[in-house]
Amino acid sequence: MKLSVTAEKAIQAYGGTALWNKARTIETILSANGLAFTLKRRPAFERAKFTTEIHRPFARMTPIGKETGVTGVLDGADVRLENSSGEILEERKNARSYFPFGRRLFYWDDLDMTYFANYATWNYLTLPALLMNDAITWTEKRPGFLEGIFPDSIPTHNRVQTFEFDVQSGLLLQHNYAPAIISKFANAANVVKEHSQGDGALFTSHRIVTPQGFGGKPMGGPVLIDLRIHDFQIR
């Protein structure tokens, strides 16, 4: 796979190809809140533990809801809830097929949130590896701007997404997408507000998601999601 200039610079900025080819898992502590949680009647994440594999969509979030001992697990297209002993409490196959209609327009249960929160965070934190993923078609539209066309096999917001990187440093500035499980018209601008140094690599430690305005620019509000990563370790 031949990488574009922007992709190469971005991967290097976040630790390099050797690191991301060798790495297997990421462990983080995160907090998130915003209007998206309120609209779906979900509790905010307060220092939740997130663990994910890097090279396939498998992730765990604890707690996923109000019950502190319940973990939400994403395993490819499927989701499940586990207790603190690892016993399966509930599961749902092909979770995406249930969105966005019916009661999900107004309310998400723990399995719904397991799917959304885990796939979204997996996409955000494993971006350097995704840039090297042959299943995704990457096109450099102009210096610093990449378009990614995702296959159905990867759980993500929507098929075509755009990424803006700083031309000099290679660091991610903004990620635009339309989270289809909420609405195909819900165009979002995910803006990186802060980077921090983690265990061997730089990572995006603060992001703000708002609706997109004209030309894909972020609107001043409302804040749909305010995401903070407090810790970042690559294994």
Q: Give the pLDDT confidence score for residue 129 in this predicted structure.
A: 98
pTM of the full structure: 0.97
Max Cα–Cα distance, the chain, nearest Å: 50
What distance in Å separates the CA atoms of residue 97 and residue 188, rounded to the nearest whole number? 21
pLDDT of residue 185: 83
pLDDT > 70 fraction of the chain, expressed in percent and rounded? 100
Q: What does the pLDDT look like over 62-89, one tens digit per residue? A: 999 999 999 999 999 999 999 999 999 9
pLDDT bin (cut points 50, 70, 90) of residue 183 is confident
Query: What domains can be seen in the chain, in order of their start residue?
Result: 5-229 (2.50.20)
**In angstroms, rounded to a whole number, what is the distance separating the alpha carbons of residues 44 and 38?**
8
Mean pLDDT, rounded, of the chain = 97
